Amino acid sequence: MKASKLILGTQRENPADAEIVSHQLMIRAGLIRQVSSGIYNWLPLGKKVLQKVEDIIRTEMNNSNAQEILMPMVQPASLWEESGRIDQYGQELLVFLDRHDNKFCLGPTHEEIITDLCKNLLTSYKQLPVTLYQIQTKFRDEIRPRFGVMRSREFIMKDAYSFDLNKEGLDQSYAIMKDSYIKIFNRLGLDYRIVKADSGAIGGSDSEEFHVLADSGEDLLAFSDKSDYAINAELLTELQEGQDPYSLEGKQSPDGQGNLKLKKGIEVGHIFKLGKKYSEILNLRIQGENGDINPEMGCYGIGASRIVAAAIEQNHDEKGIVWPKSLSPFQVALVEVNSKDNKNVKEKCNEVYQLLKDNNIETLWDDRDKRPGVKFADMEVIGIPMTIIVGERTLETGQIEIKKRKDEKPELVSHQDLLSLILN
RNA sequence: CGGGGCAUAGCGCAGCCUGGUAGCGCACCUGCUUUGGGAGCAGGUGGUCGCAGGUUCAAAUCCUGCUGCCCCGACCA
């Protein structure tokens, strides 16, 4: 992609109403623009990053044999009345009337719809176990949206739902999803923790949250420095009422192994064992070997758009975003420096661009008629992990300059080594 | 919903106190000179000053009402 043709939307100054660094950088790097409180446009660069997140999730979901579907964002409110959640969800559920005065709502989650769907889709236990998922827009009318796409009203979520014949099956489906989540967050290249959690309005028994560690996180996590013990600090039974959670820092972990550490986290994933809650309320019956049963359900969510913000919270410096390779909108930036009076520069860029293209390396060729400083600064705020610099100065030496986003200075490499260096 | 703040060009801001019909920086467009870390000069585009009403000869400015946005809290994936 040539930068001269790309709607970049980078901005030099921080927006006045963005408080946390990911929100500031998402706007400065041209990833998003606000439409209304908690509602955003995703610009070309932002959409590319979001797509990377979605692709990783989709690949791992498919690997775990979950099947992708797409459910509607607009849902009949009657289903929510049936499940009893219309009152429980309260104002967060955005309800409206169609032209026939029928009540509808914007889906904040899809337990009702999927359960209803499976009432005529799943008929025999032979179809079980099965896990269905979608990646789709959700709407929750948050009391106070904030921090850009971190806590927005409209957001992109992957939600999966498992159906099993019995509890043992649910345990297995849950374990498969958890394993899949671990693969996803590892591939995303984020520093995260899995913690025991409260199941909240979704309901059910066991639940665990996946948190990206960041000081700006809204949740406080407590975990052992020696064992796997980890819990959302709001669930710490060791806390007296009114006691500061941080006072437990360094104390012995409740599981007796190691000492407690406390860190802030951003919740990016949540997995639940729902049990029969929805299959019973909404009367989902499936034929078993001996009569029909209410299947055991699990649900599994990942905040795709929130991951983009969380990744930035964890990966940035004073110049801008520093994308992990897995999420960068482009793998390589190709910056041409002062090509006007030197046709060789342009030709060399073209040659390098073709080479990268032939090797399926997504490259942003900054061919804009701008001074070098502007281009470097833009590539840095966008956070592309690697920049190739082609200019008169090094062209003569027969070498080529590569600067990693994290490094201060570029290094010189030979043309032969260029490709292998980028691919590794 | 309680508390606080803000609203003037795409972005960041000044002007408001003391009313006289809108300005600066960045960005954008033209030209010339420049060109390895956000260039210089010259010229230019772009705003019913959030909305509605009121006061006044005259309102961005004063008054009233409303709306939107941000922050803290409660709440929440």
ipTM: 0.94
Residue A16: CB partners within 8 Å, gap ≥ 6? none
Residue A59: CB partners within 8 Å, gap ≥ 6? none
pLDDT number for residue A203: 60
- Specify the 3-state DSSP secondary structure of A292: strand
Task: Point out the nucleotide closest to A335 (alpha carbon to C1′).
Answer: B36
Task: Point out the nucleotide closest to A202 (alpha carbon to C1′).
Answer: B77
- φ, ψ for residue A319, nearest 5 deg: -90, -20
Q: Which residue is nearest to nucleotide B25 (CA to C1')?
A: A13
Task: Point out the nucleotide closest to A207 (alpha carbon to C1′).
Answer: B77
Query: Strand A39-42 vs strand A32-36: parallel, antiparallel, or unpaired?
Result: antiparallel
CA of A30 to C1' of B28 (A): 17
Task: Point out the nucleotide closest to A109 (alpha carbon to C1′).
Answer: B77
Query: Is this structure's pTM higher than 0.90?
Result: yes
pLDDT single digits (tens) A195-219: 998 766 666 678 999 999 999 999 9
Q: Which residue is nearest to nucleotide B69 (CA to C1')?
A: A37
Q: Which residue is nearest to nucleotide B75 (CA to C1')?
A: A143
CA of A16 to C1' of B12 (A): 8
One-letter-per-residue 3-state SS of A226-253:
CCCCEEEHHHCCCCCCCCCHHHHCCCEC
Q: Which residue is nearest to nucleotide B13 (CA to C1')?
A: A16
Mean pLDDT of A91-118: 95
Chain B bases near protein CB atoms (7 A cut-off):
1, 6, 11-13, 25-27, 34-39, 68-77
Cis peptide before A129 (omega within 30 of 0): yes
pLDDT number for residue A202: 60
Task: Point out the nucleotide closest to A396 (alpha carbon to C1′).
Answer: B36
Strand-pairing partners, residue A33, are A41
Q: What is the DSSP letter of A294?
A: P
CA of A8 to C1' of B8 (A): 27
pLDDT single digits (tens) A300-347: 999 999 999 999 999 999 999 999 999 999 999 999 998 888 889 999
pLDDT number for residue A236: 82
One-letter-per-residue 3-state SS of A32-46:
EEEEECCEEEECHHH
Q: Is the four-CA dihedral A190, A269, A267, A243 of positive or negative sign?
A: negative
